[in-house]
Amino acid sequence: MSNVHYNRIIRKIILGFGDMFNNITLVRYNLDETEQERFVVPINYGTKELYVARLQGDPDLDKKVQITLPRFSYVLNGISYDTKRKLNTNVRKFYPLDTGAIAQYNPVPYNFEFSLYLYVRNIEDGSQIIEHILPYFTPDYTINIDLIPEMGITKGIPIILDSTEYEVTYEGNRDSDTRYVIWTLKFTAHAYLYGMISNPVGLIRNSIVNIYDFNSNNKLVKIHSTPTPTDATANDSYGYTTTVMEYPYITEGLNIPPDFDGDALTQVGIDDLLNLEERITDLK
């Protein structure tokens, strides 16, 4: 574990979660249901340092009001390993670069538990916002995040709504504070954490496929493919040169179609190769 890597996945998931709720517009209506005003509900991540909260919330020490409502806040409560989504840890995914191919082992599945808080002055405001959010979670809503752009890995992360709580603090004597109306929505994001990306390794430029007859154990065909040009990199424009070598006993005991000419296919393109494979399959 001495290597250095940081994929910023936790940060991405926190931002991705907040991004779902950062553009929710609340419309206030008059009694006749005409619009009175509208505004986007503010959102912030909850666990800021106190001094940052003070510097941002009252920079010149002249704040005239207690707080501005309604507003969202959200917090990542914790993460836990999800055994149900375990993947084979020996499998690697490769990604081509000009200088070779980079690789990364399968990710480990982790559940991210979030709480989204909504603090409103008016119950009506809270009702409208919650009624807007809940239908999207059935009970999950999936966001697509480029978790590892270097590897071209984009994952759909299901965000599952686990619970919805509603707290109104309104009882008390006359010294009590004014009413608090707070909604708490708890979510679980089914995400993955990835390990380090390996350094680039060489590209495969020669591919040899041997096809055998299982009954006789005789080799039937040898297919050798190379890129064209041979020094092409993964991101270049390139084709393939494929050499197919037939072995004599390929025809033994088989019903060969009259137009099957193995010699003519010694230099073929990839489409021909596929045709040949189909035809050999048909023959067998």
Partner 1 sequence: MATSSYFNNYGAHSEQRLIEDIIVESIKIMGFDAFYLPNDNDAARDLLFGEDPVKKFRSAFPLELYLSNSTEYMGEKEFFSKFGLEIRNNVNVILSKRSFSQRVPQNTFTRPREGDLIYVPFMNGTGELYEIKFTNQTKDFFMLGRKVPYFYELELEKFKYSQEVIETGVDIIDEVLTQSAYTITLKVIKDFKQVYTSTNWSSGLYDNKNIIIDPKNDTFLIELGNLRIGDTILYKTTYNSDDVSAKIVGIKTFGITNYNITTDSDIIGLYELTEFTILPRNVANYGYGTYEIKETVYQSDDGTYNNATCEATLQSWAPLTGEITITNIKGEVANNSYIYGTSSNAKYYIFRTNELGTSPKNENFDNLFIENSAASYINTDENNSFGTI
Within 125-164, which residues bind partner 1 (CB under 8 A)?
A: 125, 128, 132-133, 136, 141, 143-147, 149, 154
What is the rounded distance in angstroms from the CA atom of residue 244 to the CA atom of residue 98? 28
**H or E, element range at 185:** strand 180-193
- Count of chain residues binding partner 1 (CB under 8 A): 75
Residue 164 or 241: the one with the smaller Cβ distance to partner 1 is 164
Residues 175-214 touching partner 1, rule: CB under 8 A, are 175, 177-178
Q: Out of 66, 88, 255, 281, which residue is the one contacting partner 1 (CB under 8 A)?
A: 66
What is the rounded distance in angstroms from the CA atom of residue 25 to the CA atom of residue 132? 10
Q: Is 250 in the site for partner 1 (CB under 8 A)?
A: no
Q: Is 221 in the site for partner 1 (CB under 8 A)?
A: no
Cis preceding linkage at 200, omega within 30: no
Residue 13 or 221: the one with the smaller Cβ distance to partner 1 is 13
Binding mask 80-109 for partner 1 (x = CB under 8 A): ------------------------------
Q: Out of 1, 7, 10, 68, which residue is the one contacting partner 1 (CB under 8 A)?
A: 68
Taking Cα atoms as reference points, which of 226, 231, 235 lies closest to residue 269?
226
Q: Is 36 in the site for partner 1 (CB under 8 A)?
A: yes
What is the rounded distance in angstroms from the CA atom of residue 243 to the CA atom of residue 193? 43
Instruction: Quote the least distance from Cβ 98 to partner 1, whole Å.
Output: 23
Residue 40 or 87: the one with the smaller Cβ distance to partner 1 is 40
What is the rounded distance in angstroms from the CA atom of residue 19 to the CA atom of residue 23? 8
What the block records as the tokens of 122 is 């008016």
What is the rounded distance in angstroms from the CA atom of residue 28 to the CA atom of residue 69? 13
Q: Out of 5, 88, 121, 191, which residue is the one contacting partner 1 (CB under 8 A)?
A: 121
Residue 46 or 96: the one with the smaller Cβ distance to partner 1 is 46
Contact 127, 121 (CB under 8 A): no
Residues whose CB is less than 8 angstroms from the CB of residue 254 and which lie 6 or more positions away in sequence, other chains included: 283, 284
